[in-house]
Every structure is written in C-alpha cells, then in structure tokens.
Amino acid sequence: MASQDWFDRDFYKVLGVAKDVSDADLKKTYRKLARQYHPDSTQGDPVAEAKFKEISEAYAVLSDKEQRQEYDQIRAMGSGSARFQAPGSSGGGFEDVFSRFGGGTRTQQADFDDLFAMFGEQSGGRFGSGRFGQPTGGFRGFGGPQRGADVSARTTLDFQTAVKGETITLQGEDGKPFKVKIPAGVSDGQKIRLRGRGRPSPDGGEAGDIVVSVTVRPHPVFSRDGLNLRVTVPVTFTEAALGATIEVPTLGGDPVKLRVAPGTPSGRVLRVKGRGVESSKGTGDLLAEVQVAVPAHLDDRAREALERFQDLEPKENPRAELMSRARE
C-alpha cells in the first residue's frame, strides 16, 4: 500500500480500537478479526478476503512501533487546517503542511513524493519501504503475518471415554507423542481443535492448529440422544401387567431402581434424572425404554395358566384403533 494512503485510511477504525490501544489489546483484536475473515474460514468469499487484507494492512502498521508513530504523525498533520490541494486551487497548500515541520519553503508544485521523502530521511528511509506485499510480509502479500498450517489427526474412542472425557496420547506427524484432552460429552464425528499446536508460521505469525477428528465406538447397551443416554430394559409380562420394581444399569456406575407401574406397555420410556452425559453444556438424563419380553418356551403348567387367563382377560381388540386409522 502506498504511503499516501495513510492520509485517507483510519487504521484504528478498521480494527475497531481506540488510538491509545495497548499492544496486547491490539494483538488480541487483530487475532479475533483475522480468524473471522481468514480465507480458509470464509471459503473464497471476496468480501471477507478484502476485509482480511484491510485488517492485515492496518495491523502491520499499528503493530510496528516506529510505523505507528509515523502514521500518527501523518494523520495528525492531515487532520488540521492544512489540506493537500491541486496546484492553482485556493486555500492552504503544501506551505501550510511543511511549515509545521520547520517552516521550510516549498511551492505548490511539490508533490507527495517530496513529502514522503522528507519523512523517509527523518526515519532512516523506513517509511514506505515496501513492507506490504513482500513474500514473507503476510498472507499472500496482505501485510499481516502468515498463520501456520493446520495439521489433521484422527482417533477412535470407546463409548465411555467419549461420555466421561479423558486425556489421551496421540502420535504427531513427526512421530512424537502429544496429549489431547477429550472433553466430556464429545460425540461421534466431532472435531477437537488444539490451538497453536500445528505447523509454525513462516514469518513469525501464529502457529497453526491440530484438528483431531473423533470416531466413537458403539456401546452394546447404551446409545446417545444429545446429552441423554438411552437403554432398552426388558421386563416380563407379569412385571408389565402387575407392576414391579426393577434394576436399570448406568454407564460406568451402580444400577438404579425404577418402578414399573401396573399396565405399563412395551415402548414406554422411564426417566432417571441426572444420569446421562455430564458436559460443559449441561447434564442429561438416563432414558430407559421398557420392552416386554415374551417367553420363547412354556411348560405345560405355564401354558394352562395363560390359557385360563386368556379366557378371563377383557375381550378388547388392541388392534381395532390401528385398523380404523389405517382406512382413513
């Protein structure tokens, strides 16, 4: 970016910071904006890419102590009564500008090159030295430091580790092990990002991240429903018909007792509060779905008892409503 642009560009406004912003707050703000508008995140959005270039140019100037001082001087000079005008126009000309810097006499035929050459002499020629657009001066010449590349990794977890959370060890690209903290409640297909653990920047910027893709093995008994855990619990016909107190397993803990009300149908869900997934987003419940187990083998006495019950049970057709609705 040409030095003349500094008169017209408010880099503080571009970054949304005050003119007395500290170096730490400036860097924090830039990193937040850079993550938001980085081309890798915006997937070819030309508006976001232009915004990224703009904030990178602003940060490149304001993060450099000497350039920031020069920029503030230029902006202060341009904000007063002096205005740069074309030769022959009325009002204050270049004489007003240069009078602030020692009263030197210049004619209105002087151009911007003369002005910036003066600043270059005062600052050892660094002003407008072509930092923007250099191969190592930022993302594709956008002016800010280039972020290091991300590194992808994969891991497969057992169901309980995913639900409870744990610190595991993985092997990096270079063969060296590194630790990953698995948060409680991570789900199958989720990605865990380890900030700053990827490849280093080629020009002193932020390091990339390690992005770990998680696969969770199915559990033989439990399944996930958001933060809730689901389990299917078989009950006998007599337990469902007459009611009973049954034991239900919990993940990695002691079983809990549940009351099955008389006449409980197959498929009814009983809830155990707070025995689901515990995560930073909250705590789920354990959902126990009752399934009536039909005996596969009956001895003669059991068969005779059921036949007597059949003679005594209400003569309602449990499929009557189903048939009626099917004809709608």
- Higher-confidence residue of 133 and 278: namely 278
Which tens digits make up the pLDDT trace of 289-321?
Answer: 999 998 888 899 989 998 898 888 888 887 888
Side chain identity, residue 290: V
Q: Which residues contact 165 (CB under 8 A, 6 or more apart)?
A: 181, 182, 183, 184, 185, 186, 279
Q: Within 13 Å of residue 309, how many CA atoms lie on the same side as its CB?
A: 9
Which tens digits make up the pLDDT trace of 63-75?
Answer: 888 888 888 887 7
Which tens digits make up the pLDDT trace of 149-162?
Answer: 888 888 999 999 99
Cα 87 to the center of its chain, rounded Å: 54
Q: Which residues contact 144 (CB under 8 A, 6 or more apart)?
A: 30, 34, 55, 56, 57, 59, 60, 138, 205
Phi and psi at residue 246, to the nearest 5°: -120, 165
Nearest-Å Rg of the Cα atoms of the chain is 36
Q: Scanning the structure block, which residue is given the tokens 């924090």? A: 28
Reduced to 3 states (helix: H, G, I; strand: E, B; else coil), residue 175 is: coil
pTM > 0.75: yes or no: no
Pairing outcome for strands 191-194 and 210-216: antiparallel
